[in-house]
Amino acid sequence: MLTRADVRNWVASMDCSNKRIINILSPLRAALQDAQHDDLIPVNPLFGWTYKRNEPPKEKIYVDPFNAEEQAAIINAAAGSTKNQCTVFFWTGMRTSELIALEWTDIDWKRKKIKINKAHTYAAKNDESTKTKSSNREIDMLPHVEAALINQKLHTLLQGGKVFLNPHTSKQWTGDQQIRKGCWIPLLKKAGVRYRNPYQTRQTFASMMLSAGENIAWVSAQMGHSNVLITAKTYARWINNNEQHGVKGSRDVWATFGQH
């Protein structure tokens, strides 16, 4: 019978990050839980247990945001569902894995909120919990995001629960790599914009909101950071001391963006 020690020895031999190990163990833990429920095994050896190896300090997050002209070029070069997806990318601060897992039931149209409570990575067959506890959050649905999501209803509302699907297959995106190859790289080439990976849309959101004077606590909450100090450390060069309140700063940015 499989034991916790067996799994510990197995993952200890892997040459990968703790995040990767978590993604690998997640489907195994779920399968063992199903086996226990079906009385195939007496206990789930992974229940309540996680593995974490000592890792060297992480390198500083590289922030290379898209400017307003680049964002406009990308949005203008996109069409249909891809245009909507890019708008939501740029104006919510969601991670790629969170956007892939987003469902229509996560959108509260009346309160203009979007619930972020799951993620989908390439290593997993099914949706998983978000990256960290603080990543489990509600974010504001800004007016331009709302408009994009309303338009997106025409593309995926009747095809299932996910808001954004691979337009080539009408199935859920499998991960960041598929988005990069399937639409992001060709789109940036078409727009004539220097390549950065899709994750930089998240960095773009934070940097442009802070540059506009948006309240850092609001930005931190939108990003799902565990505390404001992380936000301040990562985006120090973009912080404008003339802080706005609520989403006023983001509306100012959108007004500027719309002129390009």
In the chain, domain spans: 1-55, 68-257
- pLDDT exceeds cutoff 60 at 29: yes
Contact present, 199 and 223 (Cβ < 8 Å):
no
Please give the model's pTM, rounded to 2 decimal places: 0.72
- pLDDT exceeds cutoff 50 at 158: yes
Contact present, 222 and 250 (Cβ < 8 Å):
no
- pLDDT exceeds cutoff 90 at 232: yes
Bridge partner list, 140: 113
- pLDDT exceeds cutoff 80 at 124: no
The pLDDT tens digits of the residues spanning 56-83 come to: 555 457 899 999 999 999 999 999 999 9
Of all residues in the chain, the percent with pLDDT exceeding 90 is: 56
Q: Quickly count: other Cβ atoms within 10 Å of residue 97's Cβ.
A: 23
- pLDDT exceeds cutoff 70 at 248: no
Nearest-angstrom CA–CA distance, 3 and 23:
19
Q: What is the pLDDT of residue 202?
A: 95
- pLDDT exceeds cutoff 60 at 251: no
Contact present, 211 and 203 (Cβ < 8 Å):
no
Q: What is the residue-averaged pLDDT of the chain? A: 86
What's the average model confidence in pLDDT over 204-208?
A: 95
Element (H or E) spanning 249, and its range?
helix 248-257
Q: What is the pLDDT of residue 82?
A: 96
What CATH code would you report for 68-257? 1.10.443.10
Contact present, 213 and 112 (Cβ < 8 Å):
no
Stronger pLDDT, 26 or 132, i.e. the higher one = 26
Q: Quickly count: other Cβ atoms within 10 Å of residue 56's Cβ.
A: 5
- pLDDT exceeds cutoff 70 at 258: no
Q: DSSP per residue over 25-54, as a string? A: HHHHHHHHHHHHHTTSSSS-TTTT------
- Dihedral over Cα of 181, 186, 188, 189: its sign: positive
